[in-house]
C-alpha cells in the first residue's frame, strides 16, 4: 500500500473505533441509569433501540452524499454529529423523551459513517488489498468496543459519554488537517478495478433486483441480529442473570478483544487463499459460513452456562468467529458493485439495522413473558444465523452485478 493509502485506512479505521465505542456506552451505562431513574426493562429496551431508529434512516443518505459532496466532507459531518450527541447525553438523561431523541441523533450520525468509508475504500483501495483494509476497519471497530468495555465500568456513567464524545471531536480536527480527497482515476491511469459496467447512473431498483445482493443483505441481517443482542444486552444479562458486579462487567471487553484480533487474521487468511488461486467466491462463502454458523452454535452454548467464566468464554468464541464476516459478505460489496459499493452497503446496513430496532423491545418482551428466561432470545438468534448462512452459500456471487 502507498503511504497515502495507509494514512487514509488508519484515519477511517480510527473513526470506526470511535463509532463502535460510542454505541456500546449506553448498554453499560444503562444498568446504573436504570437504577437511578427507575426505568423498567421495557423502557430500557426502547432507550437501547432508539439509536437504531436514527441509524437506519441515514444509511442511503450517507452513500449518496459521499458520491455528491465527497467522502471527506460527509465523514467530517458524521463524526462531529455523533460526538456532540454523545457529549450531551448526560445533560438530557433525566428526561426520557429528550434522551431518546438524543439517541436517535447519535444513530443518524453513526449511520453516515460506514457507508461513507465504504465509498472511500471502493475508490481508493486496490482489489488485492481490500480484504486486509476491511479487516483493519472492522478490527478497529471491535478494538473501540474493547477499550470502551474496559474503561467505562470504572467511570461514573456520565464520564463514559464525556470521554468518548471528546475523543470524537479531536478526531474531526485531525481528519480535517491530515486527509485530502483522492481524485477519481483518470482514463490514462491504472484503475483500482476493471469493471464490466461503467455507467454510474443505475436505477434504484437494481439494488434490490439481484439475488447476489440479497444474499449479502440477508447474511448481514443475520450477523447483526446476534451482534445487537450481544451489544445491547450482554452487560445486563451478566449483571442480572450471572451476578456480575461492576468490575466484572469489564469482562464484556473479552469478546471484543478476540473479535478484533480474529478480524485482521481473517482478512489475511482470505487474501492468502485468493493468492493460492482459490476463487474469490469460494473465499467469501467460506468466511461467511464460519462467521454465521460458528456464532449460532456458540450462542446456544452460552445461554446454557451458569458460570460467569464459561459464559464469557462462549460469547467470546461467538464474537471471534463472527469476525470472519469481514472477509466474507462485508467484502463482497466491492466485488459485485465496485462503482456502487457505498450504496449497496447502505442498503445492506439499512436492512441489517432492523434487528437493532427490534432487539431492544422484543428481547425485553421475550424475557418478561418467559418469566426471566433468556433461552428463547438465543434460540431465535441462532435460527436466523443458520438461515442466513444457507442463503448466502447458495445465492452469493463474486462477479460484477451492477
Segments making up each domain of the chain, as ranges: 1-181, 204-401
Task: Say if domain 204-401 classifies as CATH 1.20.1250.20.
Answer: yes
Sequence-separated (6 or more) residues with CB below 8 Å from residue 36: none
Cell matching residue 344:
449497496
Per-residue pLDDT at 107: 94
Q: Residue range 122-134: average pLDDT?
A: 80
Q: Give the span between the Cα atoms of 147 and 149, in whole angstroms.
A: 5
Burial bucket for residue 297 (CB in 10 Å: 0-12, 13-18, 19+): middle
Q: Residue range 180-201: average pLDDT?
A: 47
Task: Grade residue 182 by pLDDT with cuts at 50, 70 and 90.
Answer: low
Task: Answer whether residue 215 shows pLDDT above 90.
Answer: yes
Task: Tell me which residue of 264, 282, 260 sits closest to 273, measured CA to CA.
Answer: 282
Per-residue pLDDT at 127: 73
Strand, helix or coil for residue 187: coil
Task: Answer whether residue 177 shows pLDDT above 60.
Answer: yes
Q: Residue range 121-149: average pLDDT?
A: 83
User: What are the start-end ranges of the H helices in 125-252?
Assistant: 130-151, 157-178, 211-241
Contact in structure between 71 and 120 (CB atoms under 8 Å): yes
Contact in structure between 192 and 133 (CB atoms under 8 Å): no
Burial bucket for residue 162 (CB in 10 Å: 0-12, 13-18, 19+): middle
Q: Residue range 219-246: average pLDDT?
A: 94
pLDDT digits (tens, 9 = 90+) for 195-211: 444 455 688 899 999 99
Superfamily, domain 1-181: MFS general substrate transporter like domains (1.20.1250.20)
Q: Give the span between the Cα atoms of 8 and 10, in whole angstroms.
A: 5
Stated length of the chain: 402
Per-residue pLDDT at 183: 56
Contact in structure between 402 and 336 (CB atoms under 8 Å): yes
Q: Record the pTM.
A: 0.81
Task: Answer whether residue 61 shows pLDDT above 90.
Answer: no
Dihedral (CA of 75, 81, 84, 86) sign: negative
Q: What percent of the chain shows pLDDT beyond 70?
A: 94
Q: Residue range 103-121: average pLDDT?
A: 90
Q: Residue range 74-94: average pLDDT?
A: 96
Task: Grade residue 63 by pLDDT with cuts at 50, 70 and 90.
Answer: low
Cell matching residue 80:
462531529
Higher-confidence residue of 131 and 161: namely 161
Task: Grade residue 187 by pLDDT with cuts at 50, 70 and 90.
Answer: very low
Higher-confidence residue of 305 and 342: namely 305
Q: Residue range 358-381: average pLDDT?
A: 94
Among 71-85, 254-268, 374-388, where is mean pLDDT lowest? 254-268
Per-residue pLDDT at 1: 59
Contact in structure between 119 and 67 (CB atoms under 8 Å): yes
Per-residue pLDDT at 139: 79
Amino acid at each position: 500500500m502507498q503511504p497515502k493509502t495507509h494514512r487514509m485506512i488508519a484515519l477511517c479505521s480510527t473513526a470506526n473505533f470511535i463509532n463502535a465505542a460510542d454505541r456500546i456506552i449506553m448498554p453499560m451505562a444503562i444498568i446504573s441509569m436504570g437504577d437511578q431513574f427507575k426505568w423498567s426493562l421495557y423502557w430500557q429496551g426502547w432507550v437501547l433501540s432508539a439509536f437504531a431508529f436514527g441509524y437506519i434512516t441515514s444509511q442511503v443518505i450517507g452513500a449518496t452524499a459521499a458520491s455528491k459532496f465527497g467522502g471527506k466532507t460527509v465523514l467530517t459531518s458524521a463524526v462531529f454529529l455523533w460526538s456532540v450527541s454523545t457529549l450531551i447525553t448526560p445533560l438530557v438523561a433525566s428526561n426520557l423523551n429528550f434522551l431518546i431523541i438524543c439517541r436517535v441523533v447519535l444513530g443518524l450520525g453513526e449511520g453516515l459513517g460506514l457507508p461513507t468509508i465504504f465509498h472511500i475504500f471502493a475508490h481508493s483501495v486496490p482489489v488485492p488489498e481490500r480484504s486486509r483494509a476491511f479487516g483493519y476497519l472492522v478490527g478497529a471497530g471491535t478494538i473501540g468496543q474493547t477499550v470502551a468495555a474496559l474503561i467505562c465500568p470504572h467511570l461514573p456513567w456520565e464520564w463514559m459519554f464525556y470521554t468518548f464524545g471528546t475523543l470524537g471531536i479531536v478526531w474531526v480536527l485531525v481528519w480535517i488537517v491530515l486527509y485530502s480527497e483522492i481524485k477519481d482515476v483518470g482514463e490514462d491511469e491504472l484503475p483500482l478495478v476493471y469493471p464490466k459496467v461503467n455507467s454510474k447512473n443505475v436505477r434504484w431498483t437494481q439494488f434490490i433486483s439481484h439475488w447476489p445482493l440479497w444474499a449479502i443483505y440477508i447474511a448481514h441481517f443475520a450477523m447483526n441480529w446476534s451482534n445487537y443482542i450481544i451489544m445491547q444486552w450482554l452487560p445486563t444479562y451478566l449483571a442480572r442473570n450471572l451476578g456480575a458486579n461492576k468490575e466484572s462487567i469489564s469482562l464484556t471487553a473479552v469478546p471484543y478483544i478476540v473479535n478484533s484480533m480474529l478480524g485482521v487474521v481473517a482478512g489475511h487468511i482470505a487474501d492468502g487463499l485468493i493468492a493460492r488461486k482459490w476463487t474469490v467466491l469460494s473465499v467469501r462463502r467460506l468466511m461467511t459460513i464460519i462467521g454465521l454458523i460458528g456464532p449460532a452454535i456458540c450462542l446456544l452454548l452460552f445461554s446454557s452456562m451458569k458460570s460467569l467464566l464459561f459464559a464469557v468464554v462462549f460469547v467470546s468464541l461467538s464474537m471471534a468467529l463472527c469476525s470472519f464476516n469481514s472477509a466474507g459478505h462485508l467484502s463482497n460489496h466491492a466485488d459485485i458493485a465496485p462503482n456502487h459499493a457505498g450504496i449497496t452497503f447502505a442498503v445492506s446496513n439499512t436492512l441489517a439495522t432492523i434487528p437493532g430496532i427490534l432487539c431492544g423491545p422484543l428481547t425485553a418482551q421475550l424475557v418478561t413473558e418467559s418469566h426471566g428466561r433468556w433461552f428463547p432470545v438465543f434460540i431465535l438468534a441462532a435460527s436466523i444465523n443458520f438461515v442466513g448462512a444457507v442463503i448466502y452459500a447458495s445465492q452469493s456471487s463474486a462477479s460484477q452485478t451492477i
